[in-house]
Amino acid sequence: RLLALLLFLLRSHNEVSSVITDKESIFLKVPNAEDARQHLQYITSMPHVAGTSEDWIMANYVKDQFEQNGFDEVSIDPLDVYLNYPMDKAIVQLKDTTKGNQIVFNAKLSEDVLDFDSTSDTTWRNHTFHGYSPSGQVFAPLIYANYGRPEDFEALNRFDVSVKDKVVLVRYGKCFRGLKVMNAQKKGALAVLIYSDPIDDGEAVGPTYPLGPWRPPAGVQRGSVQFNSLCAGDPQRADARYRNAYEEDDQSVIERICGYNTTDL
């Protein structure tokens, strides 16, 4: 029965896929490896952090490419959103309290400039930050929490290790970075540091850039630390169209769309 069902599904899929519209035909003629390489090279030729002028350049580039390849109606839909950007470089230091707060580690938080790669020398290489992460200063003991998953914090609890009022160190992988922060916050942590472990994304896996695809020692992963399992996108729903759609204030809109209020997010 299972084999018959699979054969039926495959036959049904082939029957449906055999009917290709004119626009689908145009689309299928477009992809090729060399074009993909050229597009990727241009798009990565400059930082295009969300909301910046370079981001607008790239959005128009993508729009132009769709139009040049036969799409009749292509538009860019600007949205008003709340975003944060770093004003200064962060400082992360590890101090030995048994030796008069002697600094034993000072994080560089700046990616290397590579002579052969002009895209490596930008102001953003010195801005190691996560979107929607608040500003602040924290001085507290450091606790390692593996990947920052619920089971990792449960493991700490079994050994009577509390992260309350502590700085939590976690590594990338296994779950979204924003959920690592959310899990730590639920346990009362003051701050979270996230790093890329070479065993997951680095020399332990394979050759690193420029010799391979894996992250080099000075490479930094960036992104947002939104609590995506609660609500994705702009947590404030700043765009007027959200308010107009519900004819209510921002707080109510967030509750209606996400099921959570601003404090939760």
In this prediction, residues 139-149 reach a mean pLDDT of 96
Contacts of 161 (CB under 8 A, 6+ apart): 143
In this prediction, residues 63-89 reach a mean pLDDT of 87
* % the chain with pLDDT above 70: 84
pTM above 0.95, yes or no: no
For residue 265 the two structure tokens come to 């997010």
Q: CA–CA separation, 256 vs 233, rounded Å?
A: 15
Considering 33-37, 214-218, 261-265, the range whose residues carry the highest mean pLDDT is 214-218
In this prediction, residues 95-100 reach a mean pLDDT of 89
Q: CA–CA separation, 111 vs 123, rounded Å?
A: 10
Instruction: Please provide the average confidence, as pLDDT, over all residues in the chain.
Output: 84
Considering 94-98, 195-199, 246-250, the range whose residues carry the highest mean pLDDT is 195-199
In this prediction, residues 181-204 reach a mean pLDDT of 94
Task: Locate all alpha helices (DSSP H) within the chain, ordered by sequence.
Answer: 2-17, 22-29, 33-43, 53-68, 150-158, 177-186, 198-201, 240-246, 250-258
